[in-house]
Amino acid sequence: MDWLKKHFDRVILAVMGIVLIACAGLIISQALSFNDTFAEGKTPPRANNDVPSPGTETVKERLGSIAKPRDWGTHKGSLFVSDPYVIKDNNGKPLNPLEDPEPIYPPIPNQWIKDYNLDFSDANLPNADPDGDKFSNLEEFNGKTDPTNPRSMPPYITKLRLQEFIQVPFRLKFSGSPDEGTYSINTMDLKGPTQFLKIGEMVAGTPYKVVKYTQHTSNKDGLDVDDSILTVENQESGQKIDLVNDKPVNDPTVYARFKYLWDGSEFKVKKLDSFSVKPEDAIKYKLIDISDGEAVIESPQGTKIHVPKSTP
């Protein structure tokens, strides 16, 4: 025991040496068997080309999903994104355009605005023109066109408005036949002299030609009254007017003054005349009727189009 105490440090060193030698032996043994341990992992797997083909229905389903991407729809709100709300007027309640059926901007339905991803918060949405084609969202909705595509727009003629109904006073009066085959006519509003004309002659200062005379008398209160008829024809429109003896008749010629909202221009058209609008100069429309409230025009296909009165 005394010797062990005196040489304790040497004993410890000897024990550690033995442990190190044992560990070294173990490491060498493991290294020598390394190749044998991983030999199986080094062997390449046998090739297998027998891949099962997918079913026909599966292929069709995958092709369909590629051709038509998934529609994720609208969100229902989350922790970070809430549903949109719009207040229509100062005293109105907030409306959710994604759920409330009441239109935010009537007559445009909320669904139409959502389908084209328009901004519900834009107070000027009906008059806005997001695609820059000079047609408002309201006009695109009425025309069933895409408000986000500048190549999709309503017909240009829908930008036409009636600015003014113009009726020029112009009266004609047939005053009998002073000589056989000659008829007297007064152009009352032109303040010209009485004209004595024959069948086939033009009424000076007017587009009318004398085309027919019908002699007729009637009995009124026991007296014979001459109510013969002189027919004149407008050489521009083809319209005929019957002038009864000694009864002034107003010329039915009227005009429409239009405003074209597409470019801001204004122009005047006489009833039954043809006209066109830019940029479709080749398409001819005909003004077939006009009143204080609207004008009616006809397309080359015979479709009647009602042109509303321009709003102030």
Domain ranges of the chain: 92-154, 161-166+253-308, 171-250
Q: What does the mean pLDDT of the chain come to?
A: 83
Q: State how far Cα 237 lies from the chain centre.
A: 35
Percent of the chain with pLDDT over 90: 40
Model pLDDT, residue 48: 67
Model pLDDT, residue 21: 80
> pLDDT digit string (tens) for 51-79?
666 667 777 777 777 776 666 555 555 55
Identify the CATH number of the domain defined by range 171-250: 2.30.30
H/E/C letters for each residue in 98-136? CCCCCCCECCECHHHHHHCCCCCCCCCHHHCCCCCCCCC
Residue type, 190: L
Q: Which residue has the tokens 């719009």?
A: 86
> pLDDT digit string (tens) for 150-168?
999 999 999 999 999 998 7
> pLDDT digit string (tens) for 242-299?
999 988 888 777 899 999 999 999 999 988 899 999 999 999 999 999 988 999 999 9
DSSP H stretches of helix in 33-108? 34-37, 39-42, 56-67
Distance CA 287, CA 79 (A): 60
**Phi (first) and psi of residue 76, to 5 degrees:** -100, 20
